[in-house]
């Protein structure tokens, strides 16, 4: 693609030779001639002088020498737009593979790709332009919107409902039985039938090998636009609010409700039966054991406000010093002034 | 189902109109007319006045107005019994799908359902009434009891043995090679062949995308009635005692032994080569690095008795206060009484 | 196998009857007559007197009575060699199952086993002696070296490159889309196309249900000989150096670089955009939020040098004592000597 064309497509102002042929995108320190890169983080500014890229996406004030510049107000967003232009990964053409197994009562919209050995159960309804990769399993009674993407090995259990533009990465599981057992005196715990279901609203993405369990009763819900990274666990009867972003290996215990746009770092654990308000955040590795108010950021285990947590962590590291100071005082006070002088 | 019939089936005493038609079960704040709900937790008592349910399962002393009541001594257990009555999720009928691939030497008992593209290896023996969903893989030489349920994508590796009533949620993996490598001076670590196996006893349930590795030698064992939630890792050569309940994302390193009825909260990590006694518990998010005695509850990282852990956590939060008090003393003692008065 | 032959094969000196027939290997407390065991850890020395094994692999100075001995300088390594001799797990013979789905444009080397319902996409190139178990999915454009092993349910996404001797345990996912979304004012986060890829070098092993994401741009790389245990997450654009060993449930956020021979304990979390030097280690359960120097061992959350962490943990447990000492001082200093004497 000509650089001038790229500039136009991503809404940037061109500075330099518009006839340069661009054939790829790369980070600033890995770019080759013929590629476009970007600078959005001051940390990488020194690399601007040495990058081999043919063009760089920068903001309006950046000083650029020796390479063409594409100027715009949000270089990172423009770079993402460029990534869309250069996304040439192979995509399967529409068509149902001869080895796919689709129940006669299933209803699949126009334009679908259904890969080899994908299995679609009775009464399933899927909208248009689905892409269902090999070895995916959709159980009976599932209802799915348009432009559904399910990567290989993903599983959607019975009667789950998915909105439009839902993406399941490989191995994602939606609607497995929640973990519910009633202790029965003396004997094995009795399983609680998980007769509820699970629902993912529009534009939800579930990461590789993540699991969203069905509800015991009612519905586990992941709201519109929420994104879950890999190996995330959302337990039965949870609600994850729209636009929430859950980083990898986050786990949410049963019946907890996350508001809108909640963000969790990696490996966050959240206790059952609590609420996290809209726009709240949890730092990576934290364990949340009590409800969090709207807009708050918490950290630590058990999680507290991130400011308090930081202060406490600093003090934990200062404990050896605190102990020394305490000992010194003790010598002065309990053993008398002469003792105190020993290490002054 | 008539309310009177439901009362009889779940062993409750009816108070109200036994002819009401009940067609579902729901939590107290989500129930609709025609549904039955329950009250087992005092926290939800206010909802009793406003629930739209047609009937509510309560204990013998609860005051109920405006809705029929089903009275019993354990409302939660009776509610679970009601869930069984209303479990109408679609279940596949017995039968072997034409695309299932079953080795000629495999022996599968009566009443089995084997879904599309499920693959069952040589010499496999499975008892009666199995339900094996699509895209499940059972390797060669596996032996399985009666009423086995394997959801889509589950994998059972070679020569693993499963008891009766075992349930594998989607993507569960039993018998993968344990993580064992011998450091070899200078070169790549040498893999230790994992020639042992894994065994799940009767009524074991393994959650979605959980993994129970095979032993290097001998057998990894999950005892009768133990339940593992999603994304749990049980490493090679571990023993998990009967009736244990392991919450999601728990990880147990190699050769560790859990006694009977051990309970772990979510995201618990347990070091290798230690023992957790019968009826011991580990709080969510804890990291256990030493053996735990029978009946003890531990918490924190590294885990200690939960009482000590709570006291320590309270004190960590009081560190800023402790520091202030220490400073005040220092001023008094080291700088003299006049200094101390400055902030009194 | 005759004991004398086993001795020769594992390079040990025989002491005892070389004609004993050995038919298995077992740990010292579980061995039966006819089996060989080993002693490498002094903790198990008492079991040497009571083991039922017919022979025991020991070092050159160990006192052995009542059983044959195989003497060598490294008993553990010799035991591993014996495991190789007795690895009799069933392995599938070469051959392409009739239900495997291999695109006409794929090129698979000699000696391959491809199991039932395995799916191999367009343009895939695989070296010789591959073992691809049932229900594996290899997307279009993947390039793989010799002696590839992919267990059931493993998924390799489009254009990923794998070296020689790569092993994927069941359910492992390589090349899923990285977790990248640009916040867009007011609307749903915009997905960043993950147009990069992922590469696993020679002898890499990926554990069951682990995930290695593809890069946004460029390549996520796991270096030669690195081994990842189960449920590990390596995010987009990470580099894991050669010979690294990542224990189960470790998670590494985007763009982080691990040097050579880095070791992580279980459930370690590592922040994005940092570096861990060659030969560095992270204790189980730790959360790393800053770069780690070559050879360092860190622990805790946030992780610090393991020595400092241990000292701090000891002091946290002593906080109740510190508080008592502080109170005593306060009484002496602030309330006067008479108050202080009350609890002396």
State ipTM.
0.93
Give backbone dihedrals phi and psi of B145, rounded to 5 degrees, phi first: -80, -160
The pLDDT of residue B230: 98
Of C4, C138, C129, nearest to C68 by C-alpha is C4
> Taking CA atoms, what residue in B is nearest to A231?
B231
> Taking CA atoms, what residue in A is nearest to C124?
A90
By the 10 Å C-beta count (0-12 exposed, 13-18 middle, 19+ buried), A163 is classed as buried
Of C251, C267, C165, nearest to C212 by C-alpha is C251
- CA of A307, closest CA in chain C: separation in Å? 14
Task: Yes or no: say if C218 and C194 are a contact pair by the CB < 8 Å rule.
Answer: no
Of A171, A260, A257, nearest to A219 by C-alpha is A257
By the 10 Å C-beta count (0-12 exposed, 13-18 middle, 19+ buried), C187 is classed as exposed
Over chain C, what is the mean pLDDT? Answer: 93
Q: Has residue C30 got a pLDDT over 90?
A: no
Q: What percent of chain C has pLDDT over 90?
A: 84
Of C76, C71, C84, nearest to C11 by C-alpha is C71
The pLDDT of residue C90: 84
The pLDDT of residue A337: 57
The pLDDT of residue C174: 98
Over chain B, what is the mean pLDDT? Answer: 93
Q: Has residue C342 got a pLDDT over 60?
A: no
Contacts of B63 (CB under 8 A, 6+ apart): none
Q: What is the pLDDT of residues B9-20, one digit of tens each?
A: 999 999 999 999
Contacts of B335 (CB under 8 A, 6+ apart): none
- How many angstroms separate the CA atoms of C339 and C344, rounded? 10
The pLDDT of residue B185: 67
Closest by Cβ to C193, choosing from A84, A133, A316: A84
Using alpha carbons, list the distances in angstroms from residue C80 to B162, C42, C54, C63. 27, 18, 17, 22
Q: Which residues of C touch B304 (CB under 8 A)?
A: 317
* Of residues C239 and A332, more confidently modeled: C239
Closest by Cβ to C326, choosing from B176, B187, B322: B322
- How many angstroms separate the CA atoms of C178 and C234, rounded? 9
3-state secondary structure of B312: helix
Give the bridge partners for A150, in sequence order: A132, A168
- List the Cα angle B16/B19/B22 in 5-degree steps: 95
The pLDDT of residue C65: 86
Return the number of CB contacts < 8 Å for A and C.
Answer: 197
Q: What is the pLDDT of residues B34-49, one digit of tens each?
A: 999 999 888 889 999 9
Angle, to 10 degrees, between the axis of helix C319-334 and the axis of helix A319-334? 40
- How many angstroms separate the CA atoms of A135 and A117, rounded? 5
* Other Cβ atoms closer than 10 A to C17: 12
- The answer to which of A23-32, A208-217, A280-289, B50-59 has the lowest mean pLDDT is A23-32
> Would you say how long chain A is, in residues?
344
Angle, to 10 degrees, between the axis of helix B306-317 and the axis of helix A306-317? 100
* Other Cβ atoms closer than 10 A to C246: 30
- CA of A249, closest CA in chain C: separation in Å? 7
- How many angstroms separate the CA atoms of B85 and B57, rounded? 14
Peptide bond into C80 cis (omega under 30): no
Q: Has residue B340 got a pLDDT over 80?
A: no
- How many angstroms separate the CA atoms of A95 and B62, rounded? 60
CA dihedral (A9, A13, A18, A20) in degrees, to 10, reads: -70
Asked about A236 being catalytic, the answer comes back as yes
The conformation of residue A188, written as its DSSP 8-state character, comes to P
Q: Has residue B251 got a pLDDT over 90?
A: yes
Of C155, C157, C170, C292, nearest to C215 by C-alpha is C157
Distance, first Cα to last Cα, chain A: 74
Task: Yes or no: say if B147 and B110 are a contact pair by the CB < 8 Å rule.
Answer: no
The pLDDT of residue A152: 98
Closest by Cβ to A192, choosing from B83, B284, B319: B83
Question: Given an 8 Å threshold on Cβ–Cβ distance, is B83 in contact with A217?
Answer: yes
Q: What percent of chain A has pLDDT over 70?
A: 97
Whole-structure pTM value: 0.94
Question: Tokens standing for C276?
Answer: 């861990």
Task: Yes or no: say if B129 and B113 are a contact pair by the CB < 8 Å rule.
Answer: no
Task: Yes or no: say if A299 and A286 are a contact pair by the CB < 8 Å rule.
Answer: yes
Question: Tokens standing for A214?
Answer: 């069905």
3-state secondary structure of A277: coil
Give the bridge partners for B269, in sequence order: B251, B287
Q: Which residues of C touch B233 (CB under 8 A)?
A: 229-231, 248-249, 266
Q: Give start and end residues of each alpha helix (H) in C61-189.
A: 75-85
Q: Has residue A343 got a pLDDT over 70?
A: no
Closest by Cβ to B195, choosing from C25, C30, C171: C25
- CA of C255, closest CA in chain B: separation in Å? 24
Using alpha carbons, list the distances in angstroms from residue B340 to A333, C231, C334. 14, 57, 9
Q: Which runs of E-coded beta strand occur in C166-231?
A: 167-168, 173-176, 181-182, 190-191, 197-200, 205-206, 211-213, 219-222, 227-228
Q: Which residues of A touch C282 (CB under 8 A)?
A: none
Q: Which residues of C touch B189 (CB under 8 A)?
A: 225, 227, 243, 245
| B contact chains, 3+ CB pairs < 8 A | A, C
- How many angstroms separate the CA atoms of A243 and B120, rounded? 42
Q: Give start and end residues of each alpha helix (H) in A162-278.
A: none
- CA of A164, closest CA in chain B: separation in Å? 23
Question: Given an 8 Å threshold on Cβ–Cβ distance, is A248 in contact with C253?
Answer: yes
Angle, to 10 degrees, between the axis of helix B319-334 and the axis of helix C319-334? 40
- List the Cα angle A217/A223/A227 in 5-degree steps: 120
Closest by Cβ to B171, choosing from A171, A308, A318: A171
By the 10 Å C-beta count (0-12 exposed, 13-18 middle, 19+ buried), B143 is classed as middle
- The answer to which of C123-127, C297-301, C319-323 has the lowest mean pLDDT is C319-323
User: Of the residues A97, A151, A236, A273, which is catalytic?
Assistant: A236
Closest by Cβ to C326, choosing from B182, B192, B325: B325
* Other Cβ atoms closer than 10 A to B21: 9
Q: Which residues of A touch B80 (CB under 8 A)?
A: 182, 190, 192-193
**Mapped to the 3 state alphabet, what secondary structure does B219-288 carry?**
EEEECCCCEECCCCEECCCCEECCCCEECCCCEECCCCEECCCCEECCCCEECCCCEECCCCEECCCCEE
Estimate to the nearest angstrom the gap between the alpha carbon of A49 and the chain centroid.
33
Question: Given an 8 Å threshold on Cβ–Cβ distance, is C188 in contact with A224?
Answer: yes
> Taking CA atoms, what residue in C is nearest to A313?
C302
Binned at pLDDT 50, 70 and 90, residue C337 comes out as: low
- CA of A129, closest CA in chain B: separation in Å? 23
- How many angstroms separate the CA atoms of C237 and C221, rounded? 8
- CA of B191, closest CA in chain A: separation in Å? 25
Task: Yes or no: say if B267 and B246 are a contact pair by the CB < 8 Å rule.
Answer: no
Q: Has residue A344 got a pLDDT over 50?
A: no
Q: What is the pLDDT of residues C216-272, one digit of tens each?
A: 988 999 999 999 999 999 999 999 999 999 999 999 999 999 999 999 999 999 999
Question: Given an 8 Å threshold on Cβ–Cβ distance, is A248 in contact with C231?
Answer: no
Tokens 């069984």 sit on residue: B84
The pLDDT of residue C336: 67
Angle, to 10 degrees, between the axis of helix C75-85 and the axis of helix C3-10? 120
Binned at pLDDT 50, 70 and 90, residue A341 comes out as: very low
- The answer to which of A21-30, A172-181, C209-218 has the lowest mean pLDDT is A21-30
Chain C contact probe: residue of B97, B176, B266 with most C CBs at under 10 A: B176
Question: Tokens standing for A66?
Answer: 């020796």
The conformation of residue C213, written as its DSSP 8-state character, comes to E
Q: Which residues of A touch B279 (CB under 8 A)?
A: none
- How many angstroms separate the CA atoms of A110 and C21, rounded? 67
Task: Yes or no: say if B178 and C207 are a contact pair by the CB < 8 Å rule.
Answer: no
Q: What is the pLDDT of residues B263-309, one digit of tens each?
A: 999 999 999 999 999 999 999 999 999 999 999 999 999 999 999 99
Task: Yes or no: say if A88 and A105 are a contact pair by the CB < 8 Å rule.
Answer: no
The pLDDT of residue B42: 85
Q: What is the pLDDT of residues B198-229, one digit of tens each?
A: 999 999 999 999 999 999 988 999 999 999 99
The pLDDT of residue B43: 83
- The answer to which of B126-140, C113-127, C134-148, C311-325 has the lowest mean pLDDT is C311-325
Mean pLDDT of the C105-119 span: 98
Q: Has residue A229 got a pLDDT over 50?
A: yes
> Taking CA atoms, what residue in C is nearest to A137?
C135
Q: What is the DSSP secondary-structure string of A136-181?
A: -EE-TT-EE-SS-EE-TT-EE-TT-EE-TT-EE-TT-EEEEPP--E
């Amino acid at each position: 693609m000509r650089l001038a064309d790229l500039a136009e497509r991503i809404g940037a102002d061109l500075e330099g030779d518009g006839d340069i042929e661009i054939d790829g995108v790369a980070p600033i320190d890995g770019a080759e001639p013929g590629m476009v890169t970007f600078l959005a983080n001051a940390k990488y500014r020194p690399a601007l002088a040495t990058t081999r890229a043919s063009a760089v996406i920068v903001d309006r004030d950046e000083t650029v020498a020796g390479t063409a510049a594409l100027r715009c107000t949000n270089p990172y967003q423009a770079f993402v737009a460029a990534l869309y232009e250069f996304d040439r990964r192979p995509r399967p053409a529409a068509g149902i593979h001869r080895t796919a197994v689709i129940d006669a009562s299933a209803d699949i919209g126009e334009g679908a790709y259904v890969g080899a050995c994908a299995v679609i159960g009775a009464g399933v309804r899927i909208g248009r332009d689905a892409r269902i990769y090999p070895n995916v399993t959709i159980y009976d009674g599932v209802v799915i919107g348009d432009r559904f993407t399910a990567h290989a090995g993903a599983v959607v259990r019975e009667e789950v409902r998915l909105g439009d533009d839902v993406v399941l990465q490989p191995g994602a599981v939606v609607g497995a039985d929640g973990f519910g057992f009633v202790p029965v005196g003396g004997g094995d715990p009795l399983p609680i039938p998980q007769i509820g279901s699970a629902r993912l609203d529009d534009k939800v993405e579930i990461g590789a090998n993540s699991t969203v369990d069905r509800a015991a009763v009612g519905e586990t819900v992941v709201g519109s636009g929420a994104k879950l990274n890999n190996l995330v666990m959302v337990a039965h009867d949870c609600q994850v609010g729209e636009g929430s972003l859950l980083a990898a290996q986050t786990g949410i215990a049963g019946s907890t409700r996350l508001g809108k746009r909640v963000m969790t770092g990696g490996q966050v654990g959240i206790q059952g039966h609590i609420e996290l308000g809209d726009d709240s955040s949890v730092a990576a590795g934290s364990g949340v054991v009590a409800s969090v108010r709207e807009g708050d950021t918490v950290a630590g285990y058990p999680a507290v406000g991130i400011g308090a947590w930081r202060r406490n962590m600093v003090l934990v590291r200062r404990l050896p010093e605190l102990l020394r100071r305490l000992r010194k005082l003790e010598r002065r006070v309990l053993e008398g002034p002469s003792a105190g002088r020993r290490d002054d």
